[in-house]
Amino acid sequence: MKPSAVGSCVQRFWMGRTDCHACELTVPMPFAILDPGRHRAELSQLGNHLLPAGTPVALGGEPADAVFAIRSGFLKVWQYDDCGLCRIVRLLRPGDIFGLEALFQATYAHNATTLSRARLCRIPADVLGQLEQQDPRLQYEVQRRWHQQLQQSDEFMLSVASGSSRERVLKLLRYLAKFAAPRACPRVRRLDMAAMLQISSETAARVIADLKKAGVLEETATELRFDPRALPPLQHAVEKIVNGVTFSGQDALRH
């Protein structure tokens, strides 16, 4: 991602810079614990960016010169497997941090792209290193968030990426609802579903179409809207699709 700022932080006159101490977001940024008076020079080097969905944030192998904290929206972290297929290895949400490997190595290990419209804080890696040395609380906070993200990745692999193709789509929807809460569930392209679940995009499209036809899922340009409790149970859903029987909204809600 180019370092030029494309959005404001707290006020319009604060264009391109980040005031973590005055941040009005419901998810606090890691630098909110710092004394803005003591660290004003360092904090002034942070950048704030508002990016549309589908914008590359970083590419694996590129020089890792910055870390990105997510203020709003969602990111997908991905790479190509040995067969040249795109695999999404984890999702990031507000409060998460991407690119912490910049503190330990010269290049990014993964690619990152905005899954939805997102606002990011760009933190130069050398500035983050200086601030961690000056205030151990920040080092602990960054480590805590990194550990939380690893737990999220483990949960994703254990709870979603197993079972039949159709089961995986339903599991993914339940996971996304929990992952995004209390914010709206982001719309996920069928190609991205395929890259998360190691299934075909056609299968993902068919399952989503069945759920929309049943009235248990709505889709806008930016959101997936559904009640996870209204989704049919996994085995029931698989049997219905295999047998060519269309979901009905009442049928799904009874189960």
* 16-53 core/surface letters (b: 16 or more CB in 10 A; e: else): bbbbbbebeeeeebbbeebeeeebeebbeebbbbbbeb
- State how far Cα 136 lies from the chain centre: 27
Tell me the percentage of the chain whose pLDDT exceeds 90. 47
| Cβ(33)–Cβ(137) below 8 Å | yes
In the chain, what are the domain boundaries? 12-141, 162-254
Alpha-carbon distances of 255 from 217, 233, 244, rounded to whole Å: 16, 7, 19
The sheet carrying 47-51 orders its strands as 47-51, 118-124, 66-72, 97-98
Residue 107: its pLDDT value, please?
Answer: 96
Express each pLDDT in 43-82 by its tens digit: 778 888 889 999 999 999 999 999 999 988 999 999 998 8
Cα separation, 104 vs 185, in Å, equals 33
pLDDT for res 114: 96
- pLDDT at residue 236 in the model: 44
Highest mean predicted confidence (pLDDT) among 52-66, 220-234, 241-255: 52-66
As given in the structure block, the two tokens for residue 201 are 């995009």
Q: What is the pLDDT of residue 62?
A: 95
In 3D, which of 97, 99, 132, 93 has the Cα closest to residue 116? 93
* Partner residues linked to 124 by β-bridges: 66
Residue 27: pLDDT band (50, 70, 90) is: low
Which residue type occupies 100?
Answer: L
Per-residue confidence (pLDDT) for residue 5, from 0 to 100: 41
Residues belonging to the chain: 255
What pLDDT shows up at residue 249? Answer: 42
Supply the mean pLDDT for the chain.
81
Instruction: Considering the domain delimited by 162-254, tell me its CATH architecture.
Output: Orthogonal Bundle (1.10)
Alpha carbon distance 61, 1 (integer Å):
14
Least confident of 1-10, 15-24, 102-111: 1-10
Closest listed residue to residue 88, CA positions, set 199, 253, 171 = 199
In whole angstroms, give the CA distance from residue 158 to residue 165: 15
CATH architecture of 12-141: Sandwich (2.60)
CB 61 within 8 A of CB 103: no
Distance of CA 237 to the CA centre of its chain: 27
Only one residue has tokens 């959101």, namely 223
* pLDDT (tens digit per residue) in 94-119: 989 999 999 999 999 999 999 999 98
